[in-house]
Amino acid sequence: MRIRHAAQAHETRKSNMLYWSVTSPTRDNIVGDHLYRLRYFKIPAYCPYCEDYIWGSGSVGYQCQQCLDYFHVECSLVISSGTCPVASGAKPSSSSCHVNNRSLITYDRSIPITDWSVSDVCEWLSVVNLYRYAPNFQQSKYDGVMLLTLNDEQLKHNHIHDQFQRRAILDAIKELKSREKYRPISIERFQPPSSSISSASSTTPTTLINDHGDNFICTTFYERRQCDLCEKYLYGIIHQGLQCSRCGIVVHRQCSKLPLKKCVHTNKQLECHMIIGTDFNDQPLDMKTQLPIIITRLCTTLEQMATENPSLSLIDAYRFSIESQRIAYLRKLINDNDIEKMDFKRMELSELASLVKVSLKEPGIGIIPDENYDDFLNLVNAPTQVVQEFVNNYSMPFYIDFLKFLMKHIITVWKLDYQSASMTANSKERNNSLTYDSEKLIDKLVAIFKQLIFRPPWYKIMSHARNDKDHICLLKRFIYEIDWDIERPLFQHSIPSAVLLSSHNQYQQQSLEKFPWFFNRDEMKQLNSKLAFSTTVSSQIADGEYYVRFSNDSKVLAPFTLVVQIDGQQRFIRICMNKQGQYGFSISQCYFSTIQDLINYYTQNSLSKHFPILKTDMKLTKPIQRDLFLDLRIEDDYTVIFSNIHDPHVLRITLLELTMKYNEMEQTCSALKSEYQAMITLMSEVQRSTMAYGRILTIYEKQMKLNRENIIQCQKQVEKHEFEKSYKYLETRVESFINNMQKLNDMYAEKQVKREQLYNKIESKKIEMKQYEKKIAMCMKTLEDKGIEPHEINSWLGVPDEDEPWFLPDYNREMAHSLLKTCPEGTYLIRNSSNGLYALTIVHNGLIYDCRIGRDVNQNYAFGFVTTTTTPPATNNNVSSNKNGPSDEIYSKITFSERLFYSLKDLVEYYTQHSLVEHASNLNTRLITPIKRHV
């Protein structure tokens, strides 16, 4: 490897910076109590020291064998003693490491980038600040092989027109390729000055190495910038690096924790001093709205210009992005002038819209603060009333007012577009009934603003692509359902009330699906078989038992029906909905915001109030659940219940439902445990922060005492005045520290209560899981008593015998293709699938095909081949697709083949005799040779 030698013109800079070296690190000389081992990565790991991600396939990171946390190779060279909790005496556990790293899988050997899947590529894009393009890469199915071959022309073909953005992607890929090779690092580069070595044992790493006076701010650049420490390019198109607001040095997040020269103040114009890019609550505020004035002025100007000239389209202005160089120029123009005096109407509409987007995405803290991101995401399937109450009672008024202002702006864009369409229709003397596609416009607005409003915190940035559909759904709900004190065109002109109510019913259905007493249309066969089966077991359906299903009358506004058992018969009660979206048993009695509210009310109050023919004390008692066998109590006699089931296939369904429910509970319990461990970690951090405040408070009190003595002893009035001024400042700081300590103590007490609640939930879930274990064991024993062999039971559960010559459960798609590429016609195997239950991989005409195998819940969990088709969303009037729109407008529909089997073995035996052409027209072959027999 070639050593970098700076030219004579760079000698001054070289004296101030430290450079990479070719000397291999000598780990024996490293000061620290972590016990390191080299690990290789596929999924990025979070380094808790520098708060940046470890990514790449080369020797880029270490894992501590004691606390199990991960660190960059460079970071491990500067971490001093006292940072490993296990080495400091804590009990070894998975909670010792950062929450992001607890379930991380790493490897003993380097994993080449060519082995990366599409999801691996998308996660890498997130941590290098390129998550904006994750949907594009996912849609184009760019895996590791295609990633390494990307060039400028291909990126242009993918509609990435900005040269700076294409260059940023290629720079990141170039760095990714270089990390596959060994990167020698010199330990001398990371050693502190000799004067500080003596205090290494008593000083924290931050004080020892990074006490250089820099005030780093997360900054966005619109030109390629190099790190002033390592001289490599910054990664991404947003929040690429940190810049010191004092001296102007620009570094990666990771490099900010490495040794630097002392910060020197300069008069240099810095990017992080600009209004655009600083945190929202630090920006100049509008006196009227108390919101960032740059946002309010830009949005107001856009609305005024579109109102004055109806031919201007705000939605087109937002969809069009101007060049990065132009954005950088406009940002500097705003920084150099008084915002209140600037005439923004001189700019083009697309420039103003681009500035709005830039102003929203650049600040380090988003419109929704990091600590509340998960709280908002949990509202995706919540009832409208719950979402509205959450917004109204949000504890941070500044941010909720900001969100309210932005939602008003979005709805105003919608209204202006509608009014423009109305004027166009009238000018052409069209029919009185205006055909205006609001949903298409809303989809465009959501595609623009979803990433501006919903941004995961940095330590969760990899979840950005995974949560994209939730971002879309929640923003649509904000637009359609929540009251922002602005009138929507949808209610009066744009979409007929039937369409609006249909949309309302769709959201109601989504919220109902989490209740076990609701059956959707796909579950009606399952419901009928369960009701018929109820006569098989010893207990009949009692009066008052109920469930909710879709109405058979497609003309009603609320397509739901309550079915109640009364006098041994099922009675069907139509659920009505008024124009305000409230539910009841008649239009004049619609008092409930949601159907679940209606159900809850009549579990406590008699139905006879509205139906005199019923018993006076008739209430909704016990729900008839989707899983009929899952409500067995612990005291029930399983032997009697299961022995009365004579049909083995019914027992099979029972066993499958119990097992699936147990697996769901196990996942829930695992999630609760992770939350519990995160709570403990947070409480530890709060405790450490409280202790740190205590130590700082002691130092300040000592300084105050010294100042008091100086005031008494000082003879000169000027010096005495300075000491008094310093004393007052220290007094203010001490009061601030005491308040912060009190807040931390209150937070600790609050988290302690939540921790106890989580612990009780986990223990309750464990008890419930043990009950299900007993149910499953008894059901399996009943099956064995009826002559069903254990291997057949495993086959029903979807666990084939590993001795089967065609079953390779541990093989993924790439491994299966590699194994079969030299095999003859008809050679096949079945493996576990990453996007389904199982997959059949077979050789036909020299090519290798994959067929997904799933379980059809509506057909007693039978196995069958799965086909995925993509269809555009249906509207009330027609079905249309927007070929130029975002990929989120396309929905996937999973269908099963007509031929189903109770086990994988039955499926294999059938297709050894029959052709696969009935499943796929290009597979006119049968299963000939299982892979193990071929080998």
Per-residue tokens: 517:
């007493």
Measure the CA–CA gap between 915 and 851, rounded to whole angstroms. Answer: 14
What was the pLDDT predicted at 35?
87
Given pLDDT bands bounded at 50, 70 and 90, which one contains residue 54? very high
Q: Is 799-871+892-930 the same fold as 501-633?
A: yes
Write down the domain spans for the chain.
28-89+96-179, 211-272, 287-422+437-481, 501-633, 648-788, 799-871+892-930
Please state the CATH superfamily assignment of the domain spanning residues 799-871+892-930 in this structure.
Answer: SH2 domain (3.30.505.10)
Each residue's pLDDT tens digit, 63-87: 998 888 999 988 888 887 778 888 7
Ramachandran quadrant class, 914 (left: phi over 0; alpha: psi -120 to 50; beta: rest): beta
* pLDDT level of residue 508 (50, 70, 90 thresholds): low
Q: Is the pLDDT of residue 497 over 60?
A: no
Per-residue pLDDT tens for 780-837? 777 777 777 776 777 667 666 667 888 888 888 888 898 898 898 999 999 888 665 7
- Whether pLDDT at 588 is above 60: yes
Residue, of 54 and 366, whose pLDDT is higher = 54
End-to-end CA distance of the chain: 44
The pLDDT value given to residue 182: 61
Q: Are 671 and 374 in contact (CB under 8 A)?
A: no
* Closest to 216 (Cα-Cα) out of 275, 172, 169, 260: 260
With a pLDDT cut of 70, the percent of the chain lying above it is 75
Give the number of residues written for the chain: 935
**CATH architecture, domain defined by 648-788:** Orthogonal Bundle (1.10)
Burial 888-904 (b: 16+ CB within 10 A, else e): bbeeeeeebbeebbbbb
Residues 542-564, mean pLDDT to the nearest whole number: 73
Assign domain 28-89+96-179 one CATH number from 3.90.1720.10, 1.10.150.50, 2.60.120.620, 3.40.640.10: 1.10.150.50
Class of domain 501-633: alpha beta
Non-local CB neighbours of 905 within 8 Å, separated by 6+ positions: 795, 800, 804
Distance CA 20, CA 4 (A): 8
The predicted model gives 216-245 an average pLDDT of 86
Q: Which fold has domain 287-422+437-481?
A: Phosphatidylinositol 3-kinase; Chain A (1.10.555)
Reported in sequence order, the residue ranges of 372-475 that DSSP labels E, i.e. its strands, are none
Nearest to 134 by CA among 147, 149, 121, 143: 121
SS3 for 613?
A: coil
What is the average pLDDT across 32-58? 88
Instruction: Provide the pLDDT for residue 216.
Output: 83
- The string of pLDDT tens digits covering residues 849-904 is 989 888 776 666 678 888 765 555 444 443 333 433 333 444 456 677 778 887 78
Q: Report CA-CA distances (Å) from 750 to 683, 759, 892.
A: 10, 14, 43
Say if residue 273's pLDDT is above 60.
Answer: no
Residue-wise pLDDT for 640-682, tens only, equals 566 666 666 677 777 777 877 787 788 888 888 888 888 888 8
User: Which of the four CATH numbers 3.40.50.150, 3.30.60.20, 3.40.50.970, 3.40.50.300 does domain 211-272 have?
Assistant: 3.30.60.20
Mean pLDDT in residue range 606-619: 69
Cα–Cα distance, 229 to 727 (Å, whole number): 39
pLDDT of residue 201: 32
Task: Identify the H or E element spanning 405.
Answer: helix 397-427
Cα separation, 525 vs 661, in Å, equals: 20
* Phi then psi dihedrals of residue 698, to 5 deg: -65, -45
CA dist 802 and 807 (Å) reads: 6
Given a cut of 80, whether residue 301 has pLDDT beyond it is: yes
Can you read off the two tokens belonging to residue 347? Answer: 């700019």
The type of residue at 56 is G
